[in-house]
Structure 1
Amino acid sequence: MTRRSRILPLLAGVALGAGLIAGPAHASPTRYGDEPFCGQVWGSLAEGQELSTSASVVTDVRAGRHVCFDRLVIDLRGPAGATPTYDVRYVPALAAQGSGAEIPLRGGATLRILVGAAAYDQQYQPTYLPADQGEVVDVAAFETFRQVAWAGSFEGQTSLGIGTRARLPFRVFTLAGEPGSDRAFRLVVDVGHLW
Structure 2
Amino acid sequence: MRRWGTALAATVLAGGALAATAGTAGAVTPATSTATATAAACATGWGSGEKTVEPAGHAPLADIRTGRHACFDRIVFDVPGATAADRVGYRVGYVDTLHQDGSGEEIPVDGAAILEIRVAAPSYDPGSGAESYPGRAREPLPGVDVTGYQTFRDTRFGASFEGETQIGLGVRARLPFRVFQTDGHVVVDVAHSWNAVSGTR
Normalising by structure 1, report the TM-score.
Answer: 0.74
Matches within 5 A, 1:11-160: 24-25=34-35, 26-28=37-39, 38-50=42-54, 52=55, 54-78=57-81, 81-121=85-125, 122-130=127-135, 134-136=139-141, 137-160=144-167
Q: In structure 1, list runs of 5 or more residues that go unmatched.
A: 1-22, 29-34, 177-184
Alpha-carbon offset, residue 141 of structure 1: 1.1
Bigger relative contact order, structure 1 or 2 (CA pairs below 8 A, ≥6 apart): 2
Task: Name the aligned partner's letter for residue 58 of structure 2.
Answer: A
Contact 2:56 2:86 in 1 (8 A): no
Give 1 or 2 for the bigger CA radius of gyration: 1
Q: Structure 2: how far apart are the matches of 1:173 and 1:158?
A: 17
Instruction: Flag the structure with higher strand content.
Output: 1
Task: Name the aligned partner's letter for residue 167 of structure 1.
Answer: R
Q: 1:151 to 1:53 in 2, by over 3 A?
A: farther
Alpha-carbon offset, residue 110 of structure 1: 0.4
Alpha-carbon offset, residue 55 of structure 1: 3.1
Task: Name the aligned partner's letter for residue 192 of structure 1.
Answer: A
Q: Structure 1: how far apart are the matches of 2:129 and 2:70?
A: 39
Alpha-carbon offset, residue 78 of structure 1: 3.5
Normalising by structure 2, report the TM-score.
Answer: 0.72
Partner in structure 1 of residue 191 of structure 2:
192
